[in-house]
Amino acid sequence: MEKRKFGKEFKAKVALAAIKGDKTSAELSSMYEVHGTVINRWAKLAREQMPLIFTEKEEKDQDKEKLIEELYKRIGELSIENEWLKKKLNQ
């Protein structure tokens, strides 16, 4: 049995319907032909991620810049370790 794949728009529509609470999980499951557990997971994820929609762009950019800086630092550390190991291996 092949696993079904759903697009992000479909997932958002189903999650929003679940969050509204107008219909039961069983009704939504029947209506959208998706298992109730999956619908509940999508709704939970949507509720958890919703505050990110309202996060300021500047804050997002700062977080991204910090991550990039940390990654470059780690790349540098790994490059140095790699060079050191190559020298030790050749001795």
What is the pLDDT tens value at each position of the chain, 91 positions in all? 677 899 999 999 999 999 999 999 899 999 999 999 999 999 999 999 998 888 777 777 888 899 999 999 999 999 999 999 999 888 7
Sign of the Cα pseudo-torsion (68, 72, 77, 78, in order): positive
pTM for this model (two decimals): 0.58
Say how many residues make up the chain: 91
- Domain residue spans of the chain: 1-54, 56-91
Nearest one of 14, 77, 21 to 42, comparing CA atoms: 14
CA dihedral 46, 47, 49, 50 (to 10 degrees): 100
